[in-house]
């Protein structure tokens, strides 16, 4: 899918800030809080890019971010569109978290963003599963670690998804620590079509 100027999801800044929309949806934040988070994150990105982050207060970052959002033409319509999309993401995640581990994964369990490239029937489906592992190391404190895995094999049940993710985690260098103390617990997860 290519984004044209008419496509409300084609806004690069808001697409880059989608994590802020997801956090707001998870925490069920109100409109004022969403705008505050967007201004802060836009200002934070600008300050990091220009090297002016040191010593900047939240208020200063929000003011800078408000200007960035205005300059990019971001208004209520665009923000509400992304909030709705984040709501769809939350609904899919919540539906998946409520599913039984052995049951078939259904369409309502998978977030399909408008920028997904594998929604075309001519393209093989691919999925990104994000898992929050709770790790109990042989020494030290229990910790959690989010990891993402791209699944190209067909997915059936949650057990199948977890098995594929475990296999990738064991094989991958960056996730070996997850299994260093035995079998980690899976505390949260989500699936997105990519």
The pLDDT tens digits for 51-107 are 999 999 999 999 999 999 999 999 999 999 999 999 999 999 999 999 999 999 999
3-state helix, strand, coil split of the chain in percent (to 5) is 50, 15, 35
What's the whole-model pTM score?
Answer: 0.83
Give the Cα separation of 21 and 27 in Å (integer).
10
Give yes or no for residue 8 having a pLDDT over 70.
no
The residue ranking higher by pLDDT, 139 or 190, is 190
Let me know: does 40 contact 62? Beta carbons within 8 Å.
yes
Specify the pLDDT at position 3: 37
Give yes or no for residue 159 having a pLDDT over 50.
yes
Give the Cα separation of 17 and 71 in Å (integer).
16
Give per-residue pLDDT as tens, 10-67. Answer: 688 998 999 999 999 999 999 999 999 999 999 999 999 999 999 999 999 999 999 9
- CB under 8 Å to 96, separation ≥6 — which residues? 105, 109, 110, 158, 189, 190, 191
């Amino acid at each position: 899918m290519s984004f044209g100027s008419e496509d409300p999801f084609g806004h690069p800044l808001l697409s880059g800030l989608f994590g802020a929309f997801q956090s707001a949806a998870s925490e069920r934040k109100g409109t004022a809080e969403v705008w505050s988070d967007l201004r802060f994150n836009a200002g934070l990105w600008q300050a990091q890019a220009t090297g002016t982050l040191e010593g900047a207060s939240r208020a200063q970052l929000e003011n800078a971010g408000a200007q960035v959002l205005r300059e990019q033409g971001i208004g209520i319509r665009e923000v509400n569109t992304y909030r709705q999309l984040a709501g769809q993401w939350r609904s899919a995640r919540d539906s998946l978290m409520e599913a039984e581990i052995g049951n078939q994964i259904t369409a309502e369990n998978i977030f399909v963003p408008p920028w997904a490239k594998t929604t075309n029937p001519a393209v093989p489906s691919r999925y990104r599963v994000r898992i929050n592992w709770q790790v109990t190391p042989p020494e030290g404190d229990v910790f959690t670690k989010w990891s993402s895995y791209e699944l190209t094999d067909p997915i059936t049940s949650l057990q199948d998804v977890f098995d594929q993710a475990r296999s990738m985690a064991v094989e991958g260098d960056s996730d070996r620590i997850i299994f260093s103390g035995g079998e980690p617990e899976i505390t949260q997860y989500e699936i997105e079509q990519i």
